[in-house]
Amino acid sequence: MHTMIPLPWVHVFLPDESLFRICARIYDTPEFKPRIWHFDGSGNRKPNPYQGRVLFDDLNKLTIQRFDQLVAQCGLKVERKQVDPFTGNSFAAVKRLLVRAWPDFFCSCVVYQIQQSQSR
């Protein structure tokens, strides 16, 4: 979503249908620079993939906290968890604090190293 609407938290504040409407309008503007996934195998630009859609079927909307719960429920062990704030040097210290307090809103990605728990 960030490649189409480069605003943080937009998926939190707008319903899926609105996001698709916005993406469809952006996709059809002359200023839009399509990404590689907007082209087919022959290099032709695909028809607007956002037009007429109202519900994300490929976006899991999984929060970090819920993922942590699922990992634990599955009997897996988190060996390493790295929560990265948004990039850039501007306000780096503030971003680190915000990502600790509200990781789902202020992280660019989370990297996990997960291992199966040892059976006894």
Assess whether pLDDT exceeds 80 at residue 117. Answer: no
CA nearest to 15, candidates 1, 27, 33, 25: 1
**Higher model confidence: residue 5 or residue 81?**
81
What gap in Å lies between CA 106 and CA 85, rounded to an integer?
6
Using 50, 70 and 90 to split pLDDT, how confident is the model at 1? confident
For the stretch 42-100, pLDDT in tens is 999 999 999 999 988 776 778 889 999 999 999 999 999 998 887 777 777 888 888 88
For the stretch 18-28, pLDDT in tens is 999 999 999 99
Assess whether pLDDT exceeds 70 at residue 120. Answer: no
Buried b / exposed e over 17-35, threshold 16 CB at 10 Å, is eebbbbbbeebeeeeeeee
Per-residue 3-state assignment (H helix, E strand, C coil) for the chain:
CCCCCCCCCHHHHCCHHHHHHHHHHHHCCCCCCCCHHHECCCCCECCCCCCCCCCCCCCCCCCHHHHHHHHHHCCEEEEEEEEEECCCCCCHHHHHHHHHHCHHHHEEEEEEEEEECCCC
pTM for the predicted model, two decimal places: 0.58
